[in-house]
């Protein structure tokens, strides 16, 4: 929306320039039209032309500015709807990818300490919850997971729902170990949640695949590695974290695995 805001500023500036030109033109016309009638008449005519132009132009400019502000507000609301997941309130896939690209551009433009962690978070046994407890409870699980993700992150971190029960997170971290600790904290927070009521309550858990990069990378590259690590976390028993330092295809990487049995590294 910053582009729309800049466009509105440009349009208002153009209106101001136009109003100034109209004032100058009216004053010039009064000067040349009444120059033969003496200095006093010329000055009065110029003043009248200026005031008349302002009196007719300012209300129009005020109206145009108010309309532009309303349009900007409406566009902002439409933009939020377009990039927000209606169920959970976090970014949808389109919005997340857009915010991710901006984050990568920022990393390219400035020298930063540390790097970026990318997590893919997937609800464990989600189909079982839907089938056994019903889709409304499944929706409750997704809302609860999204709320836990938002509570676990800082204001500058981004989180989005990119698939049915799959979420993505991008956040700045000083190193891979700090990224692993954040991912483990998220896993442990969600593992304390449950959905349903009475005897039909079901515990929640997530598996997290992560990738840590010290430099800007494409969404596809980080997502691909994080998704592969998510598969490893699922295969390893679910309710755990698998995080790797990003390397190009075929490169070596350090592996961190976190879950109910602690943190391993190699």
Q: Which of 261, 241, 242 is nearest to 253 (CA)?
A: 242
Pseudo-torsion of CA 130, 190, 171, 212, nearest 10°? -90
Q: Is 246 exposed, middle or buried (0-12, 13-18, 19+ CB in 10 A)?
A: buried
Residues 6+ apart with CB under 8 A from 189: 148, 151, 152
DSSP 3-state assignment of 255? strand
Q: Strands (DSSP E) along the chain, which ranges?
A: 115-123, 158-161, 166-173, 194-195, 202-203, 206-213, 240-245, 255-259, 262-265
- Catalytic residue, chosen from 39, 105, 165, 166, is 165
* 249 classed as catalytic: no
- In DSSP terms, 194 is beta-bridged to 203
Q: Which of 149, 164, 158 is nearest to 117 (CA)?
A: 158
List active site positions.
165
């Amino acid at each position: 929306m910053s582009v729309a805001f800049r466009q509105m500023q440009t349009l208002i500036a153009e209106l101001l320039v136009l109003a100034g030109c109209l004032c100058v033109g009216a004053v010039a016309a009064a000067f040349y039209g009444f120059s033969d009638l003496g200095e006093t008449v010329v000055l009065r005519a110029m003043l009248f032309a200026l005031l008349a132009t302002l009196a007719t132009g300012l209300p129009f400019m005020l109206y145009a500015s108010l309309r532009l502000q309303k349009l900007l507000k409406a566009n902002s609301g439409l933009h939020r709807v377009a990039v927000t997941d209606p169920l959970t309130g976090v970014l949808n896939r389109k919005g997340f990818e857009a915010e991710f690209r901006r984050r990568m551009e920022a990393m390219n433009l400035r020298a930063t300490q540390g790097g970026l962690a990318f997590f893919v978070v997937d609800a464990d046994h989600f189909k079982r919850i839907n089938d056994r407890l019903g889709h409304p409870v499944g929706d409750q699980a997704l809302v609860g997971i999204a709320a836990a993700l938002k509570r676990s992150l800082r204001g500058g971190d981004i989180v989005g729902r990119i698939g049915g029960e799959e979420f993505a997170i991008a956040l700045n971290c000083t190193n891979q170990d700090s990224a692993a600790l954040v991912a483990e904290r998220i896993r442990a927070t969600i593992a304390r949640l449950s959905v349903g009521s009475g005897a039909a309550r079901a515990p929640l858990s997530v598996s997290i695949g992560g990738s840590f990069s010290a430099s800007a990378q494409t969404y596809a590259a980080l997502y691909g590695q994080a998704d592969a690590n998510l598969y490893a976390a699922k295969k390893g028993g679910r309710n755990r974290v698998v995080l790797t330092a990003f390397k190009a295809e075929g490169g070596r990487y350090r592996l961190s695995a976190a879950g109910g049995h602690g943190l391993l590294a190699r």
